[in-house]
Amino acid sequence: MSRDVHIIDHPLVQHKLTLMRKKDTSTKSFRELVHELSALLAYELTRDMPMQLIEIETPLEKMMSPVIDGKKIVLASILRAGNGFLDGMLQVLPGARVGHIGLYRDPATLKAVEYYFKMPSGMEERDVIVLDPMLATGNSAVAAVDRLKATNPRSIRFVCLVTCPQGIKTFHDAHPDVPIYTPAVDRELNEHGYIVPGLGDAGDRIFGTK
């Protein structure tokens, strides 16, 4: 089955991701890099967004010129690491709305359980970009998109920094219609659910909690 995975191989993106992966990159640098990278990822994510022509007036004459309706875009952050993408993406998409999805893993069933879900109104006419830096087991991403689909948005895209074959398979087995945008597909998941070589715990590295 062919999978809708967009590899973002721009040299600037790859360079910054390499710096983020290094274990001696400080929290300050990691945060700055995720901020810069998010803005670059937003270019790729919005490449085929619907546009509309509006009438404007240049100093010389009137013309019809294209715009993206930024207000139609929802950045849906999977807590907590997804929040790391927000500032950089909002710099490029200042009109975007922001939603949050909180999930935890039930230790008995290992299933993702929702503890928070807040999206803007009028989801039927919005294009959602789901934010989660690491698409690892894929379980929380699947649960987040299950929940988002119930709001019936116009489209959904998923973006991460790093994923692995298992995460892609789990995600696309459940949601083959949702494209994944990622700069890197790493080798595998280890026995603790970390992507290897990866970059470690993205939330801890963004928020300095380790």
The residues that are catalytic are: 105, 109, 201, 204
**Region binding ligand URA by CB under 6 A among candidate stretches 14-22, 45-53, 150-158, 194-202:** 194-202
Farthest-apart Cα atoms in the chain, separation? 68
Exactly one of 40, 71, 174, 194 binds ligand URA (CB under 6 A); that residue is 194
According to DSSP, residue 58 is labeled: -
In this structure, the chain runs to a length of: 210
Query: b or e along 145-175 (b: 16 or more beta carbons within 10 Å of the residue's beta carbon)?
Result: bebbeebebebbbbbbbbbbebbbebbbeeb
Can you tell me the distance from the alpha carbon of 155 to that of 83, in angstroms, rounded to the nearest whole number? 21
Exactly one of 134, 148, 159, 168 binds ligand URA (CB under 6 A); that residue is 134
**Region binding ligand URA by CB under 6 A among candidate stretches 54-62, 139-147, 153-161, 192-200:** 192-200
**Region binding ligand URA by CB under 6 A among candidate stretches 28-36, 72-80, 110-118, 196-204:** 196-204
Q: Is 177 annotated as a binding residue?
A: no
Query: Reduced to 3 DSSP states, what percent helix, strand and coil does the chain have, rounded to the nearest 5?
Result: 35, 30, 35
Can you tell me the distance from the alpha carbon of 132 to that of 112, in angstroms, rounded to the nearest whole number? 14
Strands 134-135 and 112-118: unpaired
Q: Is 134 annotated as a binding residue?
A: yes
Q: For residue 130, how many other CB atoms are within 10 A of its CB?
A: 26
Exactly one of 201, 208, 209, 210 binds ligand URA (CB under 6 A); that residue is 201
User: Is residue 4 a contact point for ligand URA (CB under 6 A)?
Assistant: no
| Shortest Å distance, C-beta 73 to ligand URA | 25
Q: Is 133 annotated as a binding residue?
A: yes
Q: Which parts of this chain interact with ligand URA (CB under 6 A)?
A: 81, 134, 136, 193-195, 198, 201-203
Query: Annotated binding site for 5-phospho-alpha-D-ribose 1-diphosphate, which residues?
Result: 80, 105, 132-140, 201
